[in-house]
Amino acid sequence: MAAGGNEAGMLVWLVMRLWGCIRDTFLPWRRTKAYQRSRVWSHMAWIGADSLPIISVISACVGIILALQSATQLEKVGALSYVANLVGFSIVTELGPLLVCLILAGRAGAAFTAEIATMRISEEIDALEVMGIDPIRFMVWPKFAAMCVMAPLLALWGDAVGITAGGVFSTLALGLSGKAYFLQTAHFLTMRDLLSGLVKSAGFGITITIVSCWQGLLAREGAADVGRRTTRAVVQSIFLMILLDLFFTALNYIFR
């Protein structure tokens, strides 16, 4: 019970510290230090640009799979033209944000946990405090800010790639008009659908960062604990993302 209480207390403390960083960002008299800006840009490049290849491949495959599965069922009722509706709506509101952030949980989240856990065990975090550097602002805040920006942008990129791949496949394999496909997608999707997916991805990105950094800060028992904490961070992030997805989807359905 004591360990569980300490873990919950660490989570609350981390969230409060991050809230303080967010608040200070918008205060005109609190200037962001140059090394913090540099670390944010570095994390944005690593999370965003370096993730594009795998996200592009997976999003394209998902778009083609959705087009093929939709065509299999819609062809039976003579409604093959509605493939564009199903592919576009499914990717933008659901699969795009979820799959992109699942990749980020395994790629970026695991790296966040391993980095912070290693620094905790090797007492580098204590050294930062001795030098007068706030560990949360130095380690966690750049990761948090970069993830908040890049998760929605990567989800948007994944949406575009998935819809395009589905359209190309529908044109080449299903005999649909490419122009009609994209016009129908643009007509069917609304700004609310797009914003719904972007809000989901931002929420997923925040969840990944907080859980990953929280687990990293809890590391105590040597190198073996780094692996355990990294595994817990990925599993917990995925579990919480599914719960958040359920919550956002239900909320969108109720107020639609």
User: Kindly report the CA angle at 239 between 145 and 138, in degrees rounded to 5?
Assistant: 25
More confident of the two residues 167 and 77: 167
* The pLDDT value given to residue 82: 85
Task: Tell me if residue 65 falls in helix, strand or coil.
Answer: helix
Q: Is the pTM of this model over 0.75?
A: yes
The residue ranges of every structural domain in the chain are 7-18+36-254
Q: How confident is the model at residue 33 (pLDDT cuts 50, 70, 90)?
A: low
pLDDT band (50, 70, 90) for residue 2: very low
Please report, in angstroms and rounded to a whole number, the separation of the first and last CA atoms in the chain.
43
Q: Tokens 């594009």 sit at which residue? A: 52
In the chain, DSSP finds a helix count (H) and a strand count (E) of: 12, 0
**pLDDT tens per residue across span 78-115:** 777 788 888 989 999 889 999 999 999 999 999 999 99
